[in-house]
Structure 1
Amino acid sequence: MSSKEEFSLDNQIYNDNLVYKSDDDLKTKLNASNENSIKNANSKTNYPFPIKTRYDVKSTVSKPLHNSKGSESSTVYVKPNSNRQLKKFKNFFVNKVFTDTSYADGEYERASDAESASSESQSREQWAGQFEFLLSCIGYAVGLGTIWRFPYLCYKNGGGAFLIPYLIFLVLVGIPLFYLEFNVGQYTSQGPFMCWKMAPIFKGLGISMNTSSFYFCIYYNILIGYALYYLVLSFQSPLPWSKCDPSWASQNCTDFGDLVKCDEADVYKDPSGMCFNYTSPAKEPIGWWSMEKRSQTTKPILPSQDYYYNYILNRSPGLEDSGEIVWKLVLVLAVAWILVFFCIFKGIKSSGKVVYFTSVFPFVVLIILGINGWTLKGSEVGMLYFFKPDFLKLTEANVWFDAAVQVFFSMGTCTGGLITLSSYNKFTENTLRNTFIITLTSSITAIFSGFVVFSYIGYLAHVTDQRVEDVVSSGSGLSFIVFPFAATSIPGAPFWSVIFFVMVLTLGLDSQFATLEIVITSILDGVPRARKHKKLLIFGMCVAMFLLGLTFTTRGGSYWVELLDKFSSGWAVLMVGATECICIGWVYGYNKFRKDIGLMIGDKYANCFLSWYWAICWKFVCPILLFGLAMFSIIQYKPLQVDDYVYPEWANLIGHLMTISILSGTIGWAIYMVVDALFINKRSLKTLFTPEEDWGPLLAENRRLAVHLDNLKNLERSKSVKWCHASGYVLEC
């Protein structure tokens, strides 16, 4: 039986023949014996197909379709009699029903009260805008390591030649891992603790990621506290670290202003490097005219170095003598945690607003510092040291290892941060675009910061009459020793010091926000009821980590900071990265994962020419390289040493236990799952490698959308016209 029916699409009227079969024929052909009899098969409607829950073209809210008697209408099966009609059928279904903006935003009525209650219990925040998400990710990726470590590695490993292995590993490891974790987080809308349900045996990856992030949160805030302290001290002139003060200066502390005194009249410059005043009867030296010659006798120490170690840290000789608590460090640590709490106590709703300043301001400061630094005397020498290529260095294995590790850790992969941040995204955000925006921004910033940092190192070498090799530094020494002293001889020193330490503060806060969010999100995903007490949970976490961080406020605290920094991001995290690639690429399957990505961003992007690149990297390149780097790190291991201090064996043992504790989450969970399957629940081991029943998008609306789009794609792949019916929220063809 056929009938002619009109339906409306985008205010255009189409006349198409739709073929309807009898009720019995429908039940036979479609195996729909459990369906109610179809009463309105030939009734006219404004839609190409009647469905139990329809979306009115003029409204964004779903409404039940009722018949003339007021009850819900029966399901109607339709068979488009041409491919043209089938195309219209699909386009309407996607464009009008499932890609409406309001629907994507969650403004809809759910199918049942039970489903509504379930969805409410799983409700999660979302970024207020895509710009907030991008800024948060950029702030997370462009951390202190970008300013501290990359410029030094470039100088150490062949200057501009170092960019070759850096860019190679960025393409082979950094970008693929970034894209993988973005998609895992966005597709599941869950943090690292609950997102690995595609293969239950790998759920321990979330434990490992949280353990690493927990260690990071504990010690990282003391660095933010240092920056806060220096920021407060910068509001005075002259800066307190510009001259050697007997109350904290060591014997070798050198006032480099003495170089100026030796250029005055009536001064004799002795070949030894010292200068004397002719008019003084005592003929005592008034300074050094050559720091290079002085360093042959005693190594000169910058005032800022003594100030940092002896006044700020009041550092003890070593871990064996950690000493008493330094109360001013307790104060700044407390202030740092209070600052972090008030920035994230509302979750991403509050931190998403803070990043407008904390993520943008560092870029503004870098540009300002760069413009000023490039005009200083000696800056060109420093930048030449930074960028002058030495291609012979590329023959050394350590150069390639340093490049790979820098890419891996500077991108923030395999610690759960990217998964957490993307889990608050809308389901259809373009992860491919976001990946390239953030990774390229991070890499360009790293290179740009190198030119800025070495312009000041070159200037410092010039004003202190030393070689660049003697003043170059990395890590905390760059932020709290080298640049602070360089600022003392620049006109308007307090201004440059203030903006620099505000930059350090904001870079640190961005990383701390995201890392703490990893732990909090994992707890809330594991215990959804805790969302009602989220502020209390965040407060408790901040207090607990503050108390644990008191260790770093002792006189030996800086040694503990170096210990955690070394071992909390070691080879274990590399192994975690290799394991997650195996989980996605081999166990769950690349093709399945690509299909999941296509549901979010569309096949146009998921199946583009880059798809082969993702497949090769996730299945082969990343796991092999990361596993190889981990083995190289173990083989090349040396006991930890900072400056001239060699850590005792018991301290290195503690570090190794920390590293093992990170990896034990993955291994321990896998062992537990195998034991559970064999001896407790006695089920097939195959179930450990197959997705759990609730694997997929967390939110009900995203799960329904995924089901619909999946069915439509199956329909698209079909060469023949099939029977289609739409019932409730399910389209079957």
Structure 2
Amino acid sequence: MVVSTYIGIYYNVVICIAFYYFFSSMTNLLPWTYCNNPWNTPTCNGVVTPRGINNTLANVTRSLVTGAAEVAVEVVNKTKRTSPSEEYWKHYVLQISDDIGNFGEVRLPILGCLAVSWVVVFLCLIRGVKSSGKVVYFTATFPYVVLTILFIRGITLEGAVTGIKYYLTPQWHKILDAKVWGDAASQIFYSLGCAWGGLITMASYNKFHNNCYRDSIIISITNCATSVYAGFVIFSILGFMAHHLNVDVSEVADHGPGLAFVAYPEALTLLPISPLWSLLFFFMLILLGLGTQFCLLETLVTAIVDEIGTDWIVRNKTVVTGGVAIVGFLLGVPLTTQAGIYWLLLMDNYAASFSLVIISCIMCICIMYVYGHKKYFKDVEMMLGFPPPIFFRVCWRFVSPIIISFILIFTVIQYKPITYNDYVYPGWSLAIGFLMAMSSVICIPIYALYKIAKSEGTTFLERLKNSCKPDVKWGPALSEHRIGLYATPGSEGEVEVRPLKEDLPIISAGNASRNVASHL
């Protein structure tokens, strides 16, 4: 829940910036095309000129550096060259300050877009999964249409093959880079929703005998294939841009916000009818972001409803959703200031990185070795109707904990403080980052100690042993599913199937209501 809170706060800020760029693209000329705007500096050097031809100075200068041509030109200072899209991003959209502690002013256009983003999320979740489930059909499928359109356009451009070759060429020297492994782990955990509650929340709405084995395979393959496909779309355009500038693809490739809001928008300015392509691209980003945000907000709302569980809370879930959205908006306001990008990247690198790996490792160990792998396998078999395959059993018990632990240790040993371009984060900000990372992890030992203290026993070991046992109410929510180990004995020792009542052993009121709804 803590991780989902952190991600939900800053992720909606990313969506609101995509909204801002989407609205800014509704023009005949993209505002980050040229260097003749009030926010541009003397070092601005665009890839196109007002007459629509190539910027000769940029081409020749870079050709000199790369050795592609030997032409004498007068250059003000090549090392200070900045693109119009970069200056639009820094000096106009963000109006970025010089330090993370210098908040400056709230960027009202960004704040307005943040409000729009939260309103859209709230309206789509106003009836819970009943409303968001219908919206997700569109937010999850239409981006593939946009990706396909951009891919077809991208591969027809000159230089696209070069960009795709760069994308497919492994960089083996980075195989021992801890940051690469850490980023890869964080990305796969993030894209699949592992360890931050989204999967558990959404799965609680499934039917009891839903084939989650099939779903896990489909989702994993689709997620991987989508990432690879998106790479072709991105690098075909970046290859065209590199060809246009006569530079290597590595010089135009970027990551994080720099790719979505600087490099790719700059490449789009080279295309005919560039506002149309920009609208499609940022509309796709908005849909992808909203799909994730739906899950994040639903996770928080479900946790509140299930844990508090009062009649008023259950009946007024819409009010809870609105309250969470308002709080999320208020907590996101500091990220719309001139120092907001620093805090956004700090939260992204710490609040939703280390903690995800640690939580997932603890989860694997606790389920397999505290709850017990045999009981867990029987639980899965009871729901699926067949035992989990040997591959999954080996991965759950051995492979996953070992790999996750290795990534965690490797990342900690070779840890490097984050930077944003040339800006080095001060020590106090990194301390805040670690506090955010640990704030979600520390909940686990705190609750464990609380559980041990509340357990029966005269000694610590007895309390510890009893605290590791499942609650007597543990099991399926509906009586019709309580068979075998979880069977409710009747008067003659047989399984008693009866309507769900308040005194029936259940996991939580929220889970029961969702299981009932899934059977209607």
TM range (shorter): 0.7 to 0.9
Q: Is the 8 A contact 2:124 2:131 kept in 1?
A: yes
CA contact (8 A) 1:487 1:496 kept: yes
TM-score by structure 1 length?
A: 0.62
Give the letter aligned to residue 235 of structure 2.
Answer: F
Structure 1 contact 292–465 (Cα < 8 Å) conserved: no
Equivalent residue, structure 2, for 1:436:
217
Match of 1:237 in 2: 28
More strand by share: 1
1:360: how far off?
0.4
Q: Distance in 2 between matches of 1:402 and 1:539?
A: 33
Helix, strand or coil at the partner of 1:247: coil
- CA-to-aligned-CA distance 1:135-155 (integer Å, 9 cap, x gap): xxxxxxxxxxxxxxxxxxxxx
Inter-partner Cα distance in structure 1 for 2:24 and 2:237: 21
2:420 to 642, 657, 662: 642
CA distance in 1 between counterparts of 2:79 and 2:146 reads 36
Match of 1:564 among 347, 360, 369: 347
Report the AA paired with residue 238 of structure 1: L
Aligned to 1:137: none
Q: Tell me which amino acid in the other structure corresponds to 1:220.
A: Y
Matches within 5 A, 1:601-612: 601-603=384-386, 606-607=387-388, 610=389, 612=390
Distance 1:342 1:397 in 2: 41
- Is the counterpart of residue 668 in structure 1 residue 436 in structure 2? no
The corresponding residue for 1:333 is 114
Change (3 A) 1:707 1:573: same
Q: State whether structure 2 residue 33 is matched by structure 1 residue 257.
A: no
Instruction: For 2:335 and 2:458, locate their aligned partners in 1 and report how far apart those are by CA, in whole Å.
Output: 44
Closer/same/farther in 2, CA of residues 669 and 495 from structure 1, 3 Å limit: same
**Which residues in structure 2 correspond to 1:153-552 (within 5 Å)?**
210-258=1-49, 297-391=78-172, 393-394=174-175, 399-529=180-310, 530-552=313-335
Q: Which amino acid aligns with 2:416?
A: K
CA distance in 1: counterparts of 2:275 and 2:136, whole angstroms: 25
Q: How does 1:617-696 map to 2 (within 5 A)?
A: 617-677=395-455, 684-696=463-475
8 Å CA contact retained: 2:47, 2:54: no
Deviations, residues 201-236 of structure 1 (Å, cap 9, x unaligned): xxxxxxxxx111111111111111111111111111
The counterpart of 2:391, out of the listed 608, 613, 631, is 613
Q: Distance in 2 between matches of 1:261 and 1:511?
A: 38
Instruction: Report the CA distance between 1:550 and its aligned residue.
Output: 0.6
Are 1:585 and 2:368 matched, yes or no? Answer: yes
Q: CA deviation at 1:465?
A: 2.7
The SS at the match of 2:483 is helix
Structure 2 residue matching 1:245: 3-state secondary structure:
coil
The structural deviation recorded for 1:294 is 5.4
- The residue type equivalent to 1:537 in the other structure is V
Relative to 1, partners in 2 of residues 1:675 and 1:726: Cα closer, same or farther, differing over 3 Å? closer
Size of the aligned set, in residue pairs, is: 488
String of CA shifts for 1:152-210, please: whole Å, max 9, x gaps.
xxxxxxxxxxxxxxxxxxxxxxxxxxxxxxxxxxxxxxxxxxxxxxxxxxxxxxxxxx1
Does structure 1 conserve the Cα–Cα contact (< 8 Å) formed by 2:32 and 2:88? yes
Shift of 1:490: 0.8
CA distance in 2, matches of 1:507, 1:292: 45
- Aligned residue type for 1:467: D
Which residue number in structure 1 is paired with residue 510 of structure 2? none
Cα distance change on mapping 1:269 and 1:485 into 2, 3 Å:
closer
Deviations 1:378-402 (A, max 9, x none): 1111111110235565466665555
* 1:535 aligned partner, one-letter code: T
Give per-residue Cα distances to partners, 1:428-481, cap 9 Å, x unaligned. 110010001111000001111111111111111122233212111111111111
Please tell me the root mean square deviation across aligned C-alpha atoms, in Å. Answer: 3.1
Q: CA deviation at 1:534?
A: 0.6
User: What is residue 115 of structure 1 aligned with on the other side?
Assistant: none
Distance 1:248 1:548 in 2: 29
Structure of larger gyration radius: 1
For structure 2, which runs of at least 5 residues remain unmatched after alignment?
499-520
Give the distance between the partners of 2:47 and 2:58, measured in 1 at CA. 16
Cα distance in 2 for partners of 1:274, 1:402 equals 33
Task: Describe the shift of the 1:219–1:404 C-alpha distance in structure 2 as closer, same or farther (beyond 3 A).
Answer: closer
Whichever residue aligns with residue 289 of structure 2, its letter is G
After superposition, the C-alpha distances for 1:14-37 in whole angstroms (9 at most, x for unaligned) are xxxxxxxxxxxxxxxxxxxxxxxx
Q: In the superposition, relative to structure 1, how do residues 708 and 570 fare at CA in structure 2: closer, same or farther (>3 Å)? A: closer
Answer yes or no: is the 8 Å Cα contact 1:291–1:466 preserved in 2: no
Do the aligned residues in 1 keep the contact of 2:181 with 2:407 (CA within 8 Å)? no
Shift of 1:676: 3.4
Q: Distance in 2 between matches of 1:678 and 1:270?
A: 76
Task: Give the number of the structure whose residues are more often helix, by fraction.
Answer: 2
- Distance change (3 Å), C-alpha of 1:684 and 1:321: closer
Report the secondary structure of 1:504's partner residue. Answer: helix
Rounded to whole Å, the distance in 1 between the matches of 2:239 and 2:356 is 35
Closer, same or farther in 2 for the Cα pair 1:679/1:644, shift >3 Å? farther
Shift in Å at residue 298 of structure 1?
Answer: 3.1
Alignment partners' CA distance in 2, 1:289 and 1:259: 26
Residues 262 and 269, structure 1, Cα contact 8 Å, conserved in 2: no
Q: Taking structure 1 as reference, are residues 540 and 393 closer, same or farther at Cα in structure 2, changes over 3 Å only?
A: closer
Describe the shift of the 1:352–1:238 C-alpha distance in structure 2 as closer, same or farther (beyond 3 A). Answer: same
- Say which SS state the counterpart of residue 523 (structure 1) adopts: helix
Deviations 1:355-397 (A, max 9, x none): 1110001111111110110011111111111102355654666
Contact 2:59 2:245 in 1 (8 A): no
What is the CA distance between 1:728 and its match in structure 2? 4.6
Q: TM-score, normalised by structure 2?
A: 0.87
Question: What is the CA distance between 1:307 and its match in structure 2?
Answer: 0.5
Q: Which runs of 5+ in 1 are unaligned?
A: 1-209, 276-287, 712-723
